Amino acid sequence: MPVTADVCVLGGGPGGYVAALRAAALGASVALVEAEEVGGVCLLRGCIPSKALLRSAEVYQLALHAGAFGVNVSGVEADYPAMRARKDRIVRQLVRGVGGLLSAAGVTVIRGYGTLAGAGVVEVDMGDRGDLVMAPKVIIASGSSSVMPPVPGTDLPGVIDSDGAFELEEPPAQIVVAGAGAVGVEWATLFALLGSEVTLVEMLPTVVPNEDADVSAALRKILVQQGVTVRDGTRIESIAEREGGLRVSLRGDDETSEVDATHVLMATGRRANALNLGLDRMGVTHSAQGIPVDGAMRTNNPDIYAIGDVTGQRLLAHVASHQGVVAAENVMGGSAVYHDDVVPACTFTHPEIASVGLTEADARERHGEVIVGSFPFQALGRARAFGDTDGFVKLVADAANGRLLGMHVIGPAASDIIAEGALALQLDATLDDLRETIHAHPTFPEASAEAAWQAINQPLHLPQRRARARAS
């Protein structure tokens, strides 16, 4: 029997379910169509399960080095099946939580695959049967999928993507991770902390190439210290079977080499799920790269919106959620606008990476003269007490007025510290605003204020540079 609603949301990931909740809160009747469990890749096979496993690996390492904290621990072992079981419990709890929120909001959840069938009509394929949703407004939140590059041998057993990595019953003995973006370095970190022999391969000359150059260099050094073999400026030519595993052929600058592995993890990117949605029927502009939208998240069809990964913009869960709110408010007659200039990004290596705004290189290119301040966690009391002193907080500001242009963090609690940088950029704060804000002591965010003091060459807990200091 057809379902009638004011709004139909296609996809129940962090963008889709948030859009459904916001639209319902604004008084709409909402139907949410999702082929799997609500939560999307982020909750089921991405953000949450990977962070659960990474936390288990960090606890394992902490137990191994507990003696440094005056705690004697013996017989420490990594029980990977138990780690996976913990991860699965967390995912189930959160899926139930999202389902409960949708139910409490009165959202009708339909398990199936939805396509646009005509104006105000969504056809839902439920496998053994079909149904229709009649809704004048549609929000598309169909997400993205991992992409295998055109490398010979990617169809061999043992060659996996991030989804396949979650299915491994034990950490691989030897693994080649292709791609040193956020996904690649997180898996490389996890397996290295659990004792795997890891080779990280990146075509570009730096790991996490989208990050500030100083952060990239620091992470490379830390990965090597953790036992990861980093092959940047290198690409995979082919993958072949060998006795007991795989042989990976690599090409760097005018040289070739081979690496043996039990597994190869392809972490080389994702593609928007923008095809097979019935978009042509509704005249919605789209391509394999995504669905173009305006600042209101509206497609070229005024009754159809798109959010999250399917737009081909920033493939981040928190961006999808924010865009879901913007789309829902506009569907209900509002005037919300998505701004792409203040978007924090976090990478959960050990230690973490987080950034918002412009890198130093981009800031110099766009603004000319800039002020840069950096404060190392080695000089921070909380980091010393915590026992985790790798990394720094780096600030980039406009030399003309001190306005913050970017914050870049590598170190403990980086994903928490970056919230201050995002708020500062949102409010057009300056270095003076950061350093004059009282930061609680002893805390990790104190490093932000210290970096602001260092930027104007008036450091409090670092030696002053020889250059003449600017007056406070």
Question: What backbone phi and psi angles, to 5 degrees, belong to 186?
Answer: -65, -45
441 catalytic? Reply is yes
Please state whether 435 falls in left (phi above 0), alpha (psi between -120 and 50) or beta: alpha
Q: Residue 263 forms beta bridges with which residues?
A: 175
Residues 304-309 have a mean pLDDT of 98
pLDDT band at 334 (very low <50, low <70, confident <90, very high): very high
Q: Which of 350, 439, 441, 461 is catalytic?
A: 441
pLDDT at residue number 253: 86
Q: Which of 26, 245, 62, 54 is nearest to 156 (CA)?
A: 245
List of residues 6+ apart from 159 with CB closer than 8 A: 153, 239, 246, 263, 264, 266
The 10s digit of each residue's pLDDT in 433-466 is: 999 999 999 999 999 999 999 999 898 999 877 5
Torsion over CA: 247, 250, 256, 260 (sign): negative
Residues 231-258 have a mean pLDDT of 94
Strand order in the sheet with 245-251: 235-242, 245-251, 256-261
d(CA 347, CA 354): 6
Given a cut of 80, whether residue 7 has pLDDT beyond it is yes
d(CA 429, CA 417): 16
Residues 213-229 have a mean pLDDT of 98
Residues 175-204 have a mean pLDDT of 97
pLDDT at residue number 472: 32
Given a cut of 60, whether residue 29 has pLDDT beyond it is yes
pLDDT at residue number 407: 98
Pairing of strands 137-140, 144-146: unpaired
pLDDT at residue number 468: 41
pLDDT band at 216 (very low <50, low <70, confident <90, very high): very high
pLDDT at residue number 126: 86
The 10s digit of each residue's pLDDT in 358-378 is: 999 999 999 999 999 999 999
The 10s digit of each residue's pLDDT in 114-153 is: 999 999 999 999 888 888 999 999 999 999 999 999 999 9
Given a cut of 70, whether residue 470 has pLDDT beyond it is no
- CA-atom Rg of the chain in angstroms: 24
Percentage, residues of the chain above pLDDT 90:
94
The 10s digit of each residue's pLDDT in 403-429 is: 999 999 999 999 999 999 999 999 999
Residues 78-92 have a mean pLDDT of 98
pLDDT at residue number 365: 96
Given a cut of 60, whether residue 471 has pLDDT beyond it is no
Q: Residue 236 forms beta bridges with which residues?
A: 250
At 448 the three-state DSSP class reads: helix
What's the CA angle centered on 307, arms 302 and 309, to 5 degrees? 140
- Give all strands (DSSP E) within 262-348, no chain letters: 263-266, 270-272, 304-306, 345-347
Given a cut of 90, whether residue 37 has pLDDT beyond it is yes
Pairing of strands 130-134, 121-125: antiparallel
Please tell me the chain's helix, strand, coil percentages from 3-state DSSP, rounded to the nearest 5: 35, 25, 40
Q: Is there a contact between 314 and 272 (Cβ–Cβ < 8 Å)?
A: no
Given a cut of 60, whether residue 469 has pLDDT beyond it is no
Residues 260-264 have a mean pLDDT of 97
Residues 286-308 have a mean pLDDT of 97
Least confident residue range of 20-24, 286-290, 395-399: 286-290
pLDDT, mean over the chain: 95
pLDDT at residue number 72: 95
Given a cut of 60, whether residue 220 has pLDDT beyond it is yes
**Domains of the chain in sequence order:** 3-146+271-331 (3.50.50.60), 159-268 (3.50.50.60), 351-455 (3.30.390.30)
- Token digits for 463? 């030696």
Strand order in the sheet with 229-232: 159-160, 263-266, 174-178, 197-202, 229-232
The 10s digit of each residue's pLDDT in 335-361 is: 999 999 999 999 999 999 999 999 999
pLDDT at residue number 25: 98
pLDDT at residue number 437: 97
Given a cut of 90, whether residue 312 has pLDDT beyond it is yes
The residue type at 289:
Q
pLDDT at residue number 116: 97
